[in-house]
């Protein structure tokens, strides 16, 4: 990895993979689509996209990716998850389907589909002090929400009711919404800074 051009992967099993890859590329990263352990081993950071968390979980196990991703997280690889990616980075999930597993790493309890079905999708502006002005225009599509967070978890953004929808813990970051859909690049830029720092 060159300091100015970090090599990052997007987990490409299911979900909005292309949107993340395009945004990261626009920010100057070298981007690989990751489906196999050998591909994961070649990158310095990983994005877990939005999609269907239970499907990504099943495919990760089928492709032999579950343990390698857990190991990469444990060894300090920077990882950023959006929507389903937030669920997969959570240590605990509420309302998961039977047998659903996560990669874990962030000491949070996350509720799947916290706001209802696709028809209950909504948009709102969020203050994210770490990213400065203007507010982040966030799109929530069958989104999760953080129900509980450990002391080592830093909330980056909250809804008006106080529930966290963006968090960071060490080299891991997650958002309940989809910055890649609205063209909001600051979370991905912050993630690339984390990769460079690691």
Active site amino acids: 83, 178, 180
3 state SS of 186:
helix
CA distance 91 to 107: 5
Q: What is the rounded CA–CA span in Å between residue 168 and residue 80?
A: 9
Angle made by CA atoms 192, 196, 198, in degrees to the nearest 5? 115
Short-list 14, 166, 139, CA closest to 80: 166
Closest CA to 178 of 49, 11, 90: 49
């Amino acid at each position: 990895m060159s300091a100015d051009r970090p090599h990052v992967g997007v987990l490409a099993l299911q979900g909005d993979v292309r949107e993340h890859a395009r945004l990261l590329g626009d920010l100057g990263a070298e981007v690989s689509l990751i489906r196999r352990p050998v591909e994961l081993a070649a990158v310095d950071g990983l994005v877990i996209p939005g999609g269907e968390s239970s499907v990504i979980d099943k495919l990760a196990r089928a492709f032999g990716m579950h343990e390698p991703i857990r190991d990469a997280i444990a060894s300090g690889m920077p990882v950023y998850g959006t929507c389903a990616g937030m669920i997969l980075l959570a240590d605990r999930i509420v309302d998961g389907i039977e047998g659903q597993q996560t990669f874990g790493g962030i000491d949070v309890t996350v509720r799947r589909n916290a706001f209802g079905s696709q028809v209950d999708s909504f948009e709102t502006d969020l203050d994210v002090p770490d990213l400065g002005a203007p507010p982040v225009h966030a799109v929530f599509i069958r989104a999760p929400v953080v129900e509980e967070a450990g002391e080592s978890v830093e909330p980056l953004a909250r809804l008006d009711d106080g529930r966290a929808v963006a968090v960071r813990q060490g080299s891991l970051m997650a958002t309940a919404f989809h910055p890649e859909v609205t063209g909001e690049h600051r979370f991905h830029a912050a993630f690339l800074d984390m990769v460079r720092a690691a």
